[in-house]
Amino acid sequence: MRVIARLDIKNEFVIKGIHLEGLRKVGDPCDLAKQYYENGIDELLLMDAVASLYDRNNLFHIIESACREVFIPITVGGGIRQLSDIDAALKSGADKVAINTGAVNNPDLIREASMRYGSQAIVASIEAKRAGDSWTAYVDNGREPTGKSVIEWSEELAELGAGEIIVTSIDQEGTKKGFDIDLIEQVNRAVTIPVIACGGLGTTTHIEQLVDRVQPSAIACASVFHYKVLGITDIKQTLIGCGRKVREAA
C-alpha cells in the first residue's frame, strides 16, 4: 500500500480546509514536499485548490521547483480541462494528472488523455458527499453538486480509461475523524484499477479500521502531516502491523 501526501495549494501556500472549505495557510509547497520526501513518503499529490474557481492554472512553476529535489512520483490536479493542460503539467515535471471537474464537463477528456499519455498517467478524482445510503459527486473543490452517483461515475471513469481513482470524502476530509470506509469499500469493489482513499485520517486506529475492511492501493493524507499529528513512519508501521506491504522509508 502506498502512502501519499496531499498538498492543496493556493498561490504560493499550502492550505488546509475542512470539508474542502477554508483557506488556512499551513506551509510552503516546496519546503513541505521536500520534507515529506526526505521522511519517506511514497508519492506527492499537489492540488490547485482554486483552479476551477478562478479558471486558471497556477501550479506548474511550483512543480518545476519541487521536482528539482524530489524524486518520487508527483501527481498534479486542479483545473486540468484539456489535453494542453495535461501536456503542460507533464512537461513541468508531473508524472500523473488528477482530473475531476474537467472529466465531469467532458468525459471524453479521460478517454483521449489515456490514449495519448497512457492510462497510468491519468488519475480520475472524485469528491464524494454522503446522500442517504449512497454518495453524490461534487466538482469545483466540493462546491457544486453534479447529481452523479459516485459509484456509477467511478465505473464509467474506469471504462473511459482512467488509470487510478482518488476518492475524497467531503464529509470526512479535514476532520481527522476517520475515513468514510463504506465509501472506499464500494468504490474499490466497483472498479479493478487502483483506488486511493483520501479524507479523514486522524489516528493510527483509523488505518486499522480501514484496512480491516478494504485494501485500497493507497491512502492520501493531508491534515495529519501538515499539522504534524502523525509521522510517515507511524503510518507505515501501522500498515506493516496490519500485514500490508509498504515501501520501507528510505
Partner 1 sequence: MNSSSRVAVLDYGAGNVRSIMNALAVMNCDAVLTDKPEDIEASDKLIIPGVGAFAYCMSQLSESGLDVAIKRFAHSGKPILGICVGMQMLFDASEEYGEHPGLGLLPGRVKRLPIETNDAIRLPHIGWNNVEFAEKDVSMCAEFYFVHSFACFPDKPGDVYGASEYAGVTFTSAVKRNNICGVQFHPERSGAAGIGFLTDFVEAGK
Partner 2 sequence: MVNYQSNISVESHSLDEQYTKNPSMPLQAFNGLPADVAFCKQCVISNQRPNSTIEFKHTANEKKQVINFDNEGVCSACRFHDEKEQGIDWQQKEEQLKELLSRFRRTNGGYDVIVPGSGGKDSAYTAHVLKYKYGMNPLTVTWAPHLYTDIGWKNMQNWMHVGGLDNILFTPNGKLHRLLTRLAFVNLLHPFQPFIVGQRIIGPAMAAKFDVPLVMYGENQAEYGNAIDENEKPKMDEKFFSVQDPGDIVLGGKTITQIMDEYGYSINDFTPYIAPKKELLEQHNVEVHYLGYYLKWDPQECYYYAVEHTGFQANTERTEGSYSKYSSIDDKIDVFHYFTTLIKFGIGRATYDASQEIRNGKITREEGVHLVRKFDEEFPKKYFPEFLEYIGLTEQEFWDVVDQYRSPHLWYKDEDGHWQLRHRIWEG
**26 lies in the binding site for partner 2 (CB under 8 A):** no
Q: Please select the residue that binds partner 2; options are 54, 84, 116, 208, rule is CB under 8 A.
A: 54
**Helix-strand-coil split of the chain, %, nearest 5:** 40, 30, 35
Stretch of 67-75, 105-113, 139-147, 231-239 lying at the interface with partner 2 (CB under 8 A): 139-147
**186 lies in the binding site for partner 1 (CB under 8 A):** no
Q: How many residues touch partner 1 (CB under 8 A)? A: 42
Report which of 214, 172, 220 is spatially closest to residue 196, judged by C-alpha positions. 220
Dist CA 35 CA 29 (whole Å): 10
Report which of 139, 56, 149 is spatially closest to residue 102, judged by C-alpha positions. 139
Rounded to a whole number of angstroms, the minimum distance from the CB of residue 3 to partner 1 is 10
Beta carbon nearer to partner 1, 15 or 121: 121
- Taken as a whole, the chain contains a residue count of 250
Please, which residues have CB within 8 angstroms of residue 41's CB and are 6 or more apart in sequence?
3, 4, 5, 72, 232
Rounded to a whole number of angstroms, the minimum distance from the CB of residue 188 to partner 1 is 6
Mark whether 159 is an active-site residue: no
Active-site annotation, residues:
8, 127
Q: Contact positions toward partner 2, by CB under 8 A?
A: 11, 18-19, 21-24, 50, 53-55, 129, 140, 142-145, 174-175
